[in-house]
Amino acid sequence: MSALSPEEIKRYARHIVLRGVGGDGQQKLKSARVLVIGAGGLGSPAIAYLAAAGVGTLGVVDHDTVSLSNLQRQMIHQSAGIGTPKAESAGEFVAGLNAHVEFVPHIERISSENAARLMEGYTLVLDGTDNFGTRAIVAEAAEEAGLPLVSGAVSMFDGQVTVFMPGGKSFRDLYPDTPDEADLPACEVVGVLGAVTGVIGTLMAMEAIKLVTGVGEPLVGRLLLYDGRAARFTELMY
């Protein structure tokens, strides 16, 4: 990876003067290859902040298209983009924000059949999908590929985020039993406050940046829970 250009040095000045990140950390971000699964409520803020931070290669997996009901929380998409594949819409947002980021759209639904292929060549995965079955598939594939995984979820006024590291606590440790889908109503049914996805998606980006730069202590083996109504965070060990 080439050195930071004068324009990049100016763009990332607040990172470069930040103790613990600095030029070395910014270079690590530029060298990183991060895959975001889902360009929806969680993926949108994660994509925005990772692109702004200068992640060198940013891949996005999403098979869906932008719809009007997405725009209450999926803030990288626009009304004019309704009907556009979300991965393409995300790419347009990233291009407008930071031309130094190489964006790779993957317009397909992730599954057990293609997850390993989609993750190939990346160094870190973020999972912003909205159903338990897909999250389990992503976690298993990341574990098999030896990739760190930042995993988030939201419902109504609440959210959660954690980090799975290769060889450490796994998705199965956090969820030893597969819940009944009937007990996990979709956001289309119960709703979700848009800003909650912003809180959790931004926390996911923060964890990713920490993992790339080596700054701080990631949420490994810890589940951070957010109660939006009470404005309270709770941490659980697993």
pTM, entire model: 0.95
Residue at 8 is within a domain: no
Q: What pLDDT score does 1 carry?
A: 60
Q: Which two tokens stand for residue 19?
A: 């103790």
Residues 140-192 pLDDT 10s: 999 999 999 999 999 999 999 999 999 999 999 999 987 766 666 677 778 99
Q: Check 52, 104, 107, 187 and give the catalytic one.
A: 187
Residue at 197 is within a domain: yes
Residues 84-110 pLDDT 10s: 999 999 999 999 999 999 999 999 999
Is 128 buried (19+), middle (13-18) or exposed (0-12) by CB count in 10 A? buried
CATH code, domain carrying 198: 3.40.50.720
Provide the mean pLDDT of the chain.
95
For the question of residue 187 being annotated catalytic, the response is: yes
Residue at 6 is within a domain: no
Its domain, for residue 55, covers 32-237
Task: Give percent of the chain with pLDDT exceeding 70.
Answer: 97
pLDDT surpassing 80 at residue 18: yes
The tokens 């202590």 sit on which residue? Answer: 217
Q: Which two tokens stand for residue 225?
A: 């829970």
Number of domains in the chain: 1
Q: In this structure, are residues 87 and 64 in contact, taking their beta carbons and an 8 Å threshold? A: no
